[in-house]
């Protein structure tokens, strides 16, 4: 299995977002990861539905939209209409996780649930059959360029056991480098969000290949 790479446009040049999205598509990125932050659930403000809608014509790659907002449920439909393919909400930000996941799927989108570093994997137990993606935060959400939190490798391994044979993507977000990636793949990760690891140099294709171990 080849791990999927989802370059995060949080680390892209915001003055050239359309061009950057096309570049990471051509460089072999599997998904386009879009971090949505509200300045409330996390200490930063980023992209709204209008920007996603404007970017949608620039690539056919899936948009992996990560809602770091509270509450998320009132905005899910807006992001679905804007062109999201995966919509991921945070376990810590949603009082009614099951309802939100049902809503995402009812809109024809793939449903994801994200866990902060200190959130136990037990929160997944009763919603596994509503999930298409689990996103493990390996940094505290809100900013790019942070260092990987080592405890999340074992957490990924435990979640892999919970998933069993279900067709759920297991994605890791935060501080993933070419050196850390092989350990996460061994633990069971199937996808990586990569911001600075992809955008750190103009060789996006080489940086993506390095994360795959190629």
Q: Active-site residue 173, yes or no?
A: yes
Residue 1's pLDDT band, with cuts at 50, 70 and 90, is: low
58 is in an annotated binding site: no
Token duo for residue 113: 């649930």
Q: What DSSP letter does each residue of 96-110 carry, written as one string?
A: -HHHHHHHHHHTT-E
pLDDT at position 141 is 84
Per the annotation, does 83 bind a ligand?
A: no
Q: What does the mean pLDDT of the chain come to?
A: 95
Q: What residue ranges do the domains of the chain occupy?
A: 4-192+205-212
207: enclosing H helix or E strand: helix 204-212
DSSP string for 138-195: SS-TT-SSPPP-TTHHHHHHHHHHHHTTS--EEEEESS--TTTHHHHHHHT--EEEES
Q: Provide the pLDDT for residue 73.
A: 96
What is the CATH topology of the domain spanning 4-192+205-212?
Answer: TIM Barrel (3.20.20)
Q: Does the annotation place 35 within a ligand binding site?
A: yes
Question: Which residue in the list 13, 94, 173, 203 is annotated as catalytic?
Answer: 173
Nearest to residue 58, comparing CAs of 34, 37, 41?
34
Q: Is 108 annotated as a binding residue?
A: no
Q: Is the pLDDT of residue 5 over 70?
A: yes
Phi-psi region of 212 (alpha: psi -120 to 50; beta: other; left: phi over 0): alpha
Catalytic residue among 35, 38, 94, 132: 35
Q: What is the pTM of this model?
A: 0.95
213 has pLDDT over 90: no
Residues 6+ apart with CB under 8 A from 175: 138, 139, 146, 147, 148, 149
172 vs 185: CA distance, rounded Å: 10
Contacts (Cβ under 8 Å, ≥6 apart) of 82? 49, 50, 52, 53, 56
142 annotated as ligand-binding:
yes
Residue 35 falls in the annotated catalytic set: yes
pLDDT digits (tens, 9 = 90+) for 45-80: 999 999 999 999 999 999 999 999 999 999 999 999
Is residue 147 scored above 90 in pLDDT?
Answer: no
More confident residue, 43 or 31: 31
What are the tokens at 112? 């994801």
């Amino acid at each position: 299995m080849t791990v999927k790479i989802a370059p995060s446009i949080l680390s892209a040049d915001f003055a050239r977002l359309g061009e950057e999205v096309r570049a990471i598509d051509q460089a072999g990125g599997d998904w386009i990861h879009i971090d949505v932050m509200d300045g409330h659930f996390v200490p930063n403000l980023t992209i709204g539905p209008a920007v996603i809608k404007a970017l949608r014509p620039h690539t056919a790659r899936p948009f992996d939209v990560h809602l770091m907002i509270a509450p998320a449920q009132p905005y899910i439909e807006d992001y679905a209409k804007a062109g999201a393919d995966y919509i991921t909400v945070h376990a810590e930000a949603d009082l009614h996780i099951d309802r939100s996941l049902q809503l995402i799927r009812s809109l024809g989108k793939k449903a994801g649930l994200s866990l902060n570093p200190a959130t136990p994997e037990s929160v997944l137990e009763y919603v596994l059959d509503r999930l298409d993606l689990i996103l493990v935060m390996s940094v505290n959400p809100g900013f790019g360029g942070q260092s990987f939190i080592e405890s999340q490798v074992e957490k990924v391994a435990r979640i892999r056991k919970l998933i069993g044979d279900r067709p759920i993507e297991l994605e890791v977000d935060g501080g993933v480098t070419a050196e850390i990636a092989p350990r996460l793949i061994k633990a069971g990760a199937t996808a990586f969000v990569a911001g600075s690891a992809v955008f750190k140099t103009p060789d996006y294709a080489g940086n993506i290949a390095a994360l795959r171990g190629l």
